[in-house]
């Protein structure tokens, strides 16, 4: 059987299997951190990812996971580059990614458009009961992507995927 | 376009990277010791950001031909560090760490804002990213300064006295380099004195609104020297501690 040559779409599709190590429901594609995919000679693949935060400790793991997954797709060399050519923002989450965050009981980030306003961190909608009678407890949470809030309506602490 | 002056850029990058590395390390000393859980997490999280930012800046230096980031961070002499004195001090009481955080991060946020338009595009790209990260640091600092400045007489007195102690150290952030003119002319960075002007205009209303009085700049002697490799007595012990494990076997694979 003759296999068709590897396409960029094949790579993007395979990358949907590579999950964010900190929120494994979301793929790296849903997160919006894959900024470029290209295929070179002998089906070598080059993937560029951009960090969510400079101090993200999961970068190496994500690069290794990408290499593992794409290694099953091609016999060629797989190169993963991390750079800031495109600067990540929560605006780059896909619609599917946002939906999955919601299902995982994260409050969603509002549109940032380059500047995080203090208002976007207060009175965010509680992911459990939908109330906006909520308070920001701390803009810093268990990982760099999360802020902690408290809902005065359902008396429950919750996390927001914080806008950046 | 004329070739950008690499020595000038390297000097600027070392200042910034060393500030981030040292203050990041200091902030991490609050891990497990913060006065309340949220503050413990906040300082730990900001430490993580700063170490990540220093890594990106050392990586730019490496791309310009200097040694690899780990060697730059962990295997240089004290005199080769270009951090300002403010970041070197031990964490002290919480009021000191908060005030340092307020004064330093407000300048850093403005610095990244200026650098977002730098003619040295690799730096402009990371500045655009880090300015967003810094937003959370400055929101955190501003909130606490306002709260403690307005809470009661004891908290106000403590935070005012930290301000007076930190202020000459903070002016040392803006110690001019030998390359001010070149950096400005080539559009890399408008310069330390420009930044200091913006910074003073930015913090004055915030301090006044928090019931605090800003020390008089003209009668305050800035703590200079750090940018030229002359440091306080606090840096050497910090570097020794920070590099203790690394120096057992610098060639170890982690």
Per-position DSSP letters for A102-134, written without gaps between them: HHTTEEPPPP-TT---GGGGSSPPPTTT----E
A18, A84: one domain: yes
Give the CATH number, domain containing residue A46. Answer: 3.30.300.130
DSSP chain B: -PPP-HHHHHHHHHHHHHHHHHHHHHHHTTTTT-SSHHHHHHHHHHHHHHHHHHHHHHHHHHHTT---HHHHHHS--GGG----GGGGS---SHHHHHHHHHHHHHHHHHHHHHHTT-SSHHHHHHHHHHHHHHHHHHHHHHHHHHHHHHS-HHHHHHHHHHHHHHHHHHHGGG---TTHHHHHHTTS---HHHHHHHHHHHHHHHHHHTT--PPPGGG------GGGT---TTHHHHHHHHTHHHHH-TT---
The number of domains in chain A is 2
**Confidence (pLDDT) at A122:** 86
Tell me, rounded to whole angstroms, the distance of Cα A72 from its chain centroid. 23
Give the residue from B105, B109, B173 showing the smallest Cα distance to B144: B105
Q: How do residues A36-52 score in pLDDT, each as one tens digit?
A: 999 999 999 999 999 99
A68, A110: one domain: no
The answer to whether A49 and A35 are in contact (CB under 8 A) is yes
A75, A136: one domain: no
Q: What is the pLDDT of chain A when averaged over all its residues? A: 93
- Hey, which residues 31-90 in chain B have their CB within 8 Å of chain A? 38, 41-42, 44-46, 48-53, 55-56
**Confidence (pLDDT) at A144:** 86
The number of domains in chain B is 1
**Confidence (pLDDT) at B73:** 96
**Confidence (pLDDT) at A3:** 62
CA distance B140 to B28: 16
The residue from A32, A58, A88 where one domain ends is: A88
Q: How do residues B8-17 score in pLDDT, each as one tens digit?
A: 999 999 999 9
Q: Which residue of A has its CA nearest to B47?
A: A55
pLDDT of residue A1 exceeding 80, the answer is no
The answer to whether residue A63 is domain-embedded is yes
Q: What is the mean pLDDT of residues A133-144?
A: 90
Low-confidence ranges of chain B (pLDDT < 70): 1-2
**Confidence (pLDDT) at B108:** 98
| ipTM, 2 dp | 0.87
CA distance B116 to B130: 9
A12, A70: one domain: yes
Test A139 with B42 for CB contact under 8 angstroms. Answer: yes
A76, A124: one domain: no
A74, A15: one domain: yes
The answer to whether residue A84 is domain-embedded is yes
The answer to whether A11 and A73 are in contact (CB under 8 A) is yes
Q: Which of A51, A88, A138 sits opposite B41 (nearest CB)?
A: A138
A40, A71: one domain: yes
DSSP 3-state helix, strand, coil percentages of chain A (rounded to 5)? Answer: 25, 25, 50
CA distance A89 to B154: 41
A116, A77: one domain: no
User: Residues of A with CB below 8 A from B122's CB?
Assistant: 84
Residue whose structure tokens are 């990244």: B112
**Confidence (pLDDT) at B250:** 82
The answer to whether residue B172 is domain-embedded is yes
**Confidence (pLDDT) at B2:** 63
The answer to whether residue B206 is domain-embedded is yes
The answer to whether residue B99 is domain-embedded is yes
**Confidence (pLDDT) at B185:** 97
Classified as helix, coil or strand, A31 is: helix
Q: How do residues A15-32 score in pLDDT, each as one tens digit?
A: 999 999 988 899 999 999
CA distance to partner chain A, nearest, from residue B124 (Å): 10
Give the CATH number, domain containing residue B240. Answer: 1.20.1260.10
The answer to whether residue A93 is domain-embedded is no
The answer to whether residue A94 is domain-embedded is no
Give the residue from B190, B42, B152 showing the smallest Cα distance to B102: B42
CA distance to partner chain A, nearest, from residue B253 (Å): 15
Tell me, rounded to whole angstroms, the distance of Cα A8 from its chain centroid. 20
What's the burial of B6, exposed, middle or buried (CB within 10 Å: 0-12/13-18/19+)? exposed
Could you list the residue range(s) of the whole structural domain that residue A144 is in? 105-161
Could you list the residue range(s) of the whole structural domain that residue B106 is in? 6-248
The answer to whether residue B1 is domain-embedded is no
A-side interface with B, Cβ within 8 Å?
51, 53-57, 84-85, 87-89, 112, 115-116, 118, 121, 137-142, 144, 148, 162, 164
A80, A13: one domain: yes
The answer to whether residue A3 is domain-embedded is no
Query: Which of A33, A49, A53 is most worth mutating to test chain B (most B CB atoms within 10 A of its CB)?
Result: A53
DSSP A27: B
CA distance A146 to A52: 11
Give the residue from B96, B116, B121, B109 showing the smallest Cα distance to B20: B109
The answer to whether residue B41 is domain-embedded is yes
The residue from A88, A116, A141 where one domain ends is: A88
CA distance to partner chain B, nearest, from residue A72 (Å): 27
The residue from A53, A88, A123 where one domain ends is: A88
The answer to whether residue B253 is domain-embedded is no
A82, A112: one domain: no
User: Residues of B with CB below 8 A from A138's CB?
Assistant: 38, 41-42
A26, A61: one domain: yes
pLDDT of residue A2 exceeding 60, the answer is no
**Confidence (pLDDT) at A120:** 84
A61, A131: one domain: no
CA distance B53 to A55: 7
The answer to whether residue A100 is domain-embedded is no
B136: contact with A, CB 8 A cutoff = yes
User: Residues of B with CB below 8 A from A121's CB?
Assistant: 139
The answer to whether residue A96 is domain-embedded is no
The answer to whether B64 and B153 are in contact (CB under 8 A) is no
Test B136 with A85 for CB contact under 8 angstroms. Answer: no
The answer to whether residue A97 is domain-embedded is no
């Amino acid at each position: 059987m003759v296999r068709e040559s590897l396409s960029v779409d094949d790579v993007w599709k395979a990358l949907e299997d590579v999950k964010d190590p900190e929120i494994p429901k979301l793929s790296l594609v849903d997160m919006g951190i894959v900024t470029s995919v290209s295929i070179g000679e002998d089906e070598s693949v080059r993937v560029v990812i951009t960090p969510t935060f400079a101090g993200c400790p999961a970068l190496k793991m994500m690069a290794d996971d990408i290499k593992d997954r794409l290694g099953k797709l091609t016999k060629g060399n797989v190169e993963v580059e991390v750079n800031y050519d495109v600067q990540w923002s929560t605006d780059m989450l896909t619609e599917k990614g946002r939906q999955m965050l919601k299902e995982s009981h994260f409050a969603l980030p509002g549109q940032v458009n380059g500047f995080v306003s203090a208002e976007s961190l207060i009175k965010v909608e509680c992911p459990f009961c939908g109330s906006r009678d909520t308070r920001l407890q701390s803009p810093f949470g268990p990982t760099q992507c999360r802020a902690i809030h408290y809902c005065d309506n359902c008396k429950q602490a919750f996390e927001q995927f914080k806008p950046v | 376009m004329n070739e950008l002056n690499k020595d000038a850029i390297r000097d600027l990058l070392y200042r910034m990277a060393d500030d981030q590395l040292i203050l990041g390390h200091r902030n991490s000393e609050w891990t497990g010791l913060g006065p309340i859980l949220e503050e413990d997490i906040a300082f730990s999280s900001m430490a993580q950001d700063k170490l990540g930012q220093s890594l990106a800046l050392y990586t730019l230096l490496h791309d310009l031909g200097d040694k690899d980031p780990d060697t730059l961070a962990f295997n240089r002499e004290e005199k080769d560090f270009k951090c300002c004195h403010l970041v070197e001090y031990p964490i002290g009481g919480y009021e000191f760490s908060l005030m340092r955080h307020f004064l330093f991060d407000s300048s850093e946020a403005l610095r990244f804002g200026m650098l977002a338009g730098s003619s040295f595009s690799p730096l402009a790209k990371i500045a655009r990213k880090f300015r967003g990260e810094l937003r959370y640091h400055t929101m955190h600092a501003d909130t606490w300064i306002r709260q403690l400045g307005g809470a009661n007489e004891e908290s106000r007195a403590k935070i005012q006295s930290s301000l007076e102690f930190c202020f000459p150290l903070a002016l040392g952030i803006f110690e001019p380099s030998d390359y001010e003119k070149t950096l400005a002319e080539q559009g890399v960075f408008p310069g330390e004195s420009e930044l200091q002007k913006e910074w003073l205009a930015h913090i004055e209303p915030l301090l006044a609104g928090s019931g605090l009085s800003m020390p008089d700049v003209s009668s305050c002697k800035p703590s200079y020297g750090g940018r030229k490799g002359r440091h306080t007595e606090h840096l050497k012990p910090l570097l020794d501690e920070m590099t203790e494990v690394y120096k057992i076997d610098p060639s170890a694979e982690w």
